[in-house]
Amino acid sequence: MNKEFSRIISGTMTWGAWGKQLDKKEMSSLMSHCIENKITTFDHADIYGGYTTEEDFGIALAESNIKREDIQLISKCGIQHLSGDRKNKVGHYEYSKEYIIWSVEESLKLLKTDYLDVILMHRPSPLMRSDEIAEAILQLMRQGKIKDFGVSNFTPAQMNMIGSKMPISVNQIEFSLTTHTAMHDGTLDTMITNDITPMAWSPLGNVFREDNEQTRRIHKQLGELLEKYDATEDQLLLAWIMKHPANIHPVIGTTTPKRITDAAKAAKINMELQDWFLILVASQGHKVP
């Protein structure tokens, strides 16, 4: 398995048409800023920007001075949106052998690279067949088009089903202080047991998006720890995630250079055990059993 992912991962979902609409110069500059802060892994999905962001990123990467071997590229496939040139009647999931291979080859072409460091099956489908997925992945690996295979948003049972035919190296899940069921439903336990790297999308949760009793409790508790750790609230939220023994890699979605720099510094925070539980209790609104 490729263990070279950076501790913090840069998510590109909002770099293009679905967000900031960065031009190629701005994208190249943002890539370089990430790399300067030891964030060398970039998370993509074919659907981002309505199937356009991979191409925008690839053009920017090709025209930059960044060496391919200095970064890691993740992409995902399987979600079929009603967008672009795709003649879909309904949004659905597609995990046939032919489609997975075609989708990876399309991502390689758009990202202007010879290989992906890992390809993830984006969301589980009720109709997916583990043996067919394994056939596609093994062929892509033999051809050197992917280094590793993983999934995204898969439950423990789904990981076990797919993993019975093809070892899984990554599962990218929603995980944060305000969405932490993966700690209790066996998801992270399964990943630890099977040496699967967890990546966490939306790692700040709804702490800054919502104003309610829970988020107010969290802000109060984080505020009492800022001076102790010489940190921002964002950094403490990321450090809280990274304290977990599953070795979770937060996928940050920001395109703001300062927030990227701050996120990178969070990897150096060694949060004390009882402070971790103080923050958990603030989120839950009750003491641990």
The residues annotated as belonging to the active site are 48
**Dihedral sign (CA 38, 44, 49, 55):** positive
The Cβ of residue 229 has, within 10 Å, a number of other Cβ atoms equal to: 17
Asked if 129 and 158 count as a contact pair (C-beta separation under 8 A), the reply is: no
Distance CA 3, CA 169 (A): 9
Q: How far is CA 164 from CA 154, 186, 207, in A?
A: 14, 17, 37
d(C-alpha 157, C-alpha 194), whole Å:
13
Q: What whole-number distance in Å separates Cα of residue 44 and Cα of residue 60?
A: 14
How far is residue 51's CA from residue 17's CA, in Å, rounded to a whole number? 9
| Cβ within 8 Å of residue 3, ≥6 positions away | 197
Look up residue 171 and give its two tokens. Answer: 């599962």
